[in-house]
Chains A and B, each alone.
Chain A
Amino acid sequence: MSKILFAFTQNKTTIRRIVKKYAPTLESEDLMQEVFLRCFAAERKNLILNPKAFVLKVAKNSAISANKSLGMRMESSIDEALGGETMIDPSARVDSIVGEREKLNLLVSALLEMPEEHREALLLKKVEGLKFKQIATRLDVSVSTVEKRVSFALLYCMQKMKKMGLDTSELNQHGRSSTWSKVGAYSASGAGTKQH
């Protein structure tokens, strides 16, 4: 994780240049975010020997294919405009306000802000789908430590979503102001205790 993040931050200017070169009409910041997300996801599954080369390659390939699909999307939206009716799934409306990908980006940025041990525990749970017991074995900590770390990560992400106005529940009138700092305090006291 850190290697990719490092390579990405170190080469931001180059990445931006690549993205602009291969997808000149697209919003480069969005595309860069996508590039980072892809690298972040890839690093979890792959052994990346040369992070810099990899990040630049992903930037190039993503920009090329985004540019290509932009062309296709424009055609299809013209088709839609001519053809009239399109199906609207009412259940998809919440998500269309906040795109799934946007939510994912936001969560990943929240994950990057928290300590690695919390991030890792949450990712093993939600991405790999492991049980806490298995996570505990893998990280060599107790199950209750895993529970604390994941619940910290959860509250942190919720806080972030709320901040960005992505909170889908309407129940947030309770004490929303104080929670942020308290979540931080929680990380220091509760989740930091390692029991073996």
Chain B
Amino acid sequence: MTSTNSKIVEMPALPELEQQAAIWMMRIEEGLNAEREREFQSWLSAKDLHRTVFERVSQGWLELDVLESLNDVAEHADIQKSLEEVGREQHTGFLPSFMARALVIGSAVAAGIVAMVSLTEPPSTAIEDQYLTSIGEQRNVSLPDGSTMILNTNSNSQLHYNDQSRTIFLRRGQAFFDVKKDASRPFIVKTPKGDVQAIGTAFSVSIIDDQLQVVVQEGRVALTPNEGGRQVLESKLSDSEPIELTAGHITTFVEFLAEPEIVDLAEIERQLDWRDGVIGFRGESLEDVVQQISPYTDFEIQIDGEALKNQPIGGYFKIGETEALFDALALMANVKVDRLGPDRVRLYRSVETKTE
């Protein structure tokens, strides 16, 4: 459990006060739970000076928003030009500016660079960009044509726009697309298992553990599986015809393409809950819940006891807030959380609470 020992009792001199105010500012930025909110309010009202200092600190915090414009500075035409020129002059090989641009925020991306080099074929007018998310992270990306892409946890996508087409390579993970109509430029999501083409549509595509899944919320999409993917539906299809999926369809395939499943809109919505940063549960077993949240957390979660594994769970899991889930389990289901290591926990129920 997170330690909540930061009860502020004494009334320190000013610099400490600024630090306290700044720390509160950080916590507020991240969101306060009810307990923390109460703690904050009592801190704030303890002295007039607290409020004064806090207002100043929060003003300062807002001032720092100007740093966001570094993003625009980095995109400046002079910089792009310079990157291209420097790249061209280098004998070691031309690093196209799109690639340079694609190396979003340093560290996490290193592995991606190697993969990308092999597929360089940059036409001059094309827009190329790579978007990645780490485990537990989601990104909302506005695409150049006005479409949007919501990238779920642990995903890797690459954008390739030119005059003829809008293509997204989804190499790993899950993405939801809300596509702007543009008859002259088809919108295609390419995955290692097949291609999904949209026609003014809202849909999600995921490619996780070699399994392709398409969920259609609105409009129509055309799915063209790669070799081997169409065997199940072979009888119903002429050779090169794509499979059309309309709103309410979910289709999944691993080795073979399964018959598209039609579900009600509520189920589609639930399948797409992750876009809002939450996953809903309606009485699934704890084992299922743990399995479903596993893509969003670095924690390896072990459940002890059959009864606990089958414990039905209802409610919402906020993506990236695994600790809150543990807290909720402890509170609602009387589950004990045993820390086996920084990334490993064991969930169990103490013997005296249940007849076991």
Contacts and interface: CB of A to CB of B under 8 A. Distances in A.
Are A and B a genuine interacting pair, yes or no? yes
Interface of A: 37-38, 40-42, 44-50, 53-54, 57-58, 60-62, 65, 100, 103-104, 107-108, 122-134, 137-138, 143, 147-148, 150-152, 154-155, 157-158, 161, 168-169, 171-172, 174-175, 178-179, 182-183, 186, 190, 196
B63 A103 contact: yes
Given A41-B74, A128-B105, A131-B320, A57 B19 contact: no
B298 A137 contact: yes
B60 A151 contact: no
A126 B95 CA distance: 28
A58 B82 contact: yes
Nearest to A50: B86
B118 interface: no
Contacts of B23: 147-148, 151
Contacts of A53: 86, 89-90
B191 to A, nearest CB: 25
Contacts, number: 185
Given A126-B65, A129-B68, A44 B55 contact: no
A132 B27 CA distance: 9
A155 B320 contact: no
Taking chain B's interface residues, is the majority helix, strand, or loop, or is none over half, making it mixed? helix
Contacts of B69: 100, 104
Contacts of B82: 42, 54, 57-58, 60-61
Given A132-B26, A186-B19, 4 more contacts: A45-B103, A122-B64, A147-B23, A190-B19
B71 interface: yes
A136 to B, nearest CB: 10
Interface string B133-144: 011110000000
A62 B320 contact: no
Interface of B: 13-16, 18-19, 22-23, 25-27, 29-30, 49, 52-53, 55-57, 59-61, 63-71, 73-74, 76-79, 81-83, 85-86, 89-90, 92, 95, 100-101, 103-108, 113, 134-137, 298, 320-321, 342
A44 B107 CA distance: 10
A161 B67 CA distance: 14
Given A137-B136, A161-B63, A38 B78 contact: yes
Contacts of B76: 38, 41
A37 B73 contact: yes
B342 A196 contact: yes
Contact of A174 (B49, B79, B106): B49
A164 B138 CA distance: 38
Given A107-B66, A138-B107, A161-B60, A45 B101 contact: yes
Contact of B15 (A37, A62, A183): A183
Contacts of A132: 26, 29-30
B66 A104 contact: yes
Contact of A179 (B15, B78, B134): B15
B25 A138 contact: no
Contacts of A169: 55-56, 59-60
A45 B81 contact: no
A186 B19 CA distance: 8
A47 B14 contact: no
Given A58-B78, A151-B22, A157 B101 contact: no
Nearest to B133: A134
Nearest to A161: B63
A49 B92 contact: yes
A37 B73 CA distance: 8
A29 B86 CA distance: 24
Nearest to B16: A182
B56 A171 contact: yes
B134 A147 contact: no
A154 B23 CA distance: 10
B86 A44 contact: no
A131 to B, nearest CB: 6
Nearest to A54: B86
A139 to B, nearest CB: 9
B134 A154 contact: no
A46 B103 CA distance: 6
Contacts of B104: 45
Contact of B134 (A138, A152, A158, A171): A138
A151 B26 CA distance: 7
A62 B71 contact: no
Contact of B68 (A126, A171, A174, A178): A126
19 contacts: A42-B74, A42-B83, A44-B105, A48-B83, A50-B86, A57-B82, A58-B82, A61-B81, A61-B82, A108-B70, A130-B137, A133-B321, A137-B135, A143-B30, A148-B23, A150-B26, A172-B56, A174-B14, A183-B18
